[in-house]
Amino acid sequence: MTPIESIVSDIKMSEKPARTRYAPSPTGSPHVGNLRTALFSYLLARHTGGQFLLRVEDTDQTRLVPGALQDIIASLRALGLDYDEGPDRASVARVDAAKYGTVDPALLPEEGGAYGPYFQSQRLDRYREVVDTLLDAGKAYYAFETKEELEAMRAAAQMRGEPFLYNRRYRDLPLAEARKRVEDGAPHVVRLKMPTEGPIRTYDALRGETVWDATTQDDFIILKADGFPPYHLAAMVDDHDMEITHVLRGEEWLSSSPKHFCLLQALGWEIPVFLHVPYVLGADGKKLSKRNGAKPVVGVIKDPKTGEDIPGYVDHDGVLPEALFNHLALVGWSPGEDLEIMPKEELIARFDANRISRSPGIFDLDKLYATNGVYLRALAPEDFARRALPYLAKAGLVPEDADDAAVQYAADVLALEQERLKTLAEAPQATEFFFRDLPEYVEKSANKWLKPQGAAEYLSDLGAALVDASPWDAQTIESVTREVGARHGRERGDITHPVRVAVSGREAGPSLFDMMAVLGRERVLARLRRAVEIARA
């Protein structure tokens, strides 16, 4: 069976354990669009009982950004993508005992798992070994063009209106002669000998077989002049050595498939299942940007156009990691039913890579926040308070070293708003009036509900009646309020709206009487007195 036929026979994403990987380049902090492919790789591995790896593709040393790797790891962890192997994680339990003879951590080849190292910059000797194998087999060759010569070839092709293809000048240079030039210090690269005619067949799990004309492909570089391999070689070697079975990557790599298939075939290696995931777009159908959702999970990334800081969904906006995981999983994938709220365990159980859409996935901010609201409402009140308290502290509403009484008051306040919030970051604005000595009274609302004739008298009498209300709970407060309102000839909203504005400064909010119960007698009476002063001014 040929390699391509082998792939086709296994392309239905069978239930056998899949080894997948996320292999970012630490050239910047990732946003949610970048991480969607990692999430799909994670789901496939977990669904099949396989492993999910983190590998760092850092061979392009000129583009590395300090701190980017830390942001990548923090984003994966915050999103709940717990990888089994990686540069910072040991994986003793998953070591193949037959291969290594023992699961003793001291005998693992590298820290972080059984298939390390997980930094490409630490694997240069391995890449050189593979390149030498290809050279010795006559499947690759040294090329000695200078940078200026290559630029002249590109310019000539551009003038002819043709795509640039390397002219294979050194393809047939005897290896011994080429190695002599290398030993003499001649600058060089190594290129793979690609087919020069006929079809090149590749296979993608979403799109099926593609046939490429060999005359459109050139002999690409597999070892650069600086001794580092490009992605085309390093990624394929790593996937083979780490026994990756399914490669999920962005569809921008689809056009590179002929290179990768030919390289793997030249080495006689098994070809993994490739699945090129479509792009992620915003709800406006345009490329993700700050405006339509290209934000990090945690931390801060820079807007590439303005340099402006873009803060994260989880630590800044207050989106729950489990809600972001849920929403992102449905960006370009569907379980085949009209389901939108699925916890992580259900997503893993239902995941079928064959159902990934071939059309771009849409990252809809409105849907994300609606999903987050569902998850917020499902939290136990104490869990909701625990997650929301840091946002109140950051806004200066609750001291960092708040005592138990202050924490309990904040928790009681937050419980009133739990049903109304879509993100944790909305908590300070929604609850701010609970923590001030007196609320801010909007002139329009005050004029509408506090200034009309009789409002001052009504609120004054209500304050007097509440002084001795007992017990101080929502039921008692409501009974007293409606009794006083009836005495003043008021009905329905004419009873509650002036009181709401008086005690909160707002025309909308949580249940009025629950709100008054949480505010406490002293705050309510002080606010009623202030409202009477405004009404009479």
Element (H, E) at 51: strand 51-54
DSSP output for 305-321: TT--EEE-TTTTS---H
Distance CA 409, CA 515 (A): 12
Among the listed residues 33, 28, 78, the one whose alpha carbon sits nearest the alpha carbon of residue 293? 33
- Quickly tell me which residue has 């194998």 as its tokens: 133
Contact 170, 141 (CB under 8 A): yes
Distance CA 238, CA 458 (A): 77
Is 180 catalytic? The answer is no
For residue 65, give the amino acid letter. Answer: V
Catalytic residue of the set 193, 290, 302, 367: 290
Distance CA 200, CA 194 (A): 10
Distance CA 214, CA 201 (A): 10
Cis before 471? omega within 30: yes
- Residue 302's SS3 state is strand
Q: Give the Cα-Cα-Cα angle 375, 377, 379 (nearest 5 degrees).
A: 75
Distance CA 277, CA 250 (A): 5
Pairing of strands 273-277, 51-54: unpaired
Distance CA 338, CA 360 (A): 19
Q: List the beta bridge partners of residue 20.
A: 52
Question: Which tokens belong to 342?
Answer: 């699925």
Among the listed residues 10, 2, 82, the one whose alpha carbon sits nearest the alpha carbon of residue 46? 82
* Residue 110 C-alpha from the chain's centroid: 28
Just list the catalytic residues.
290
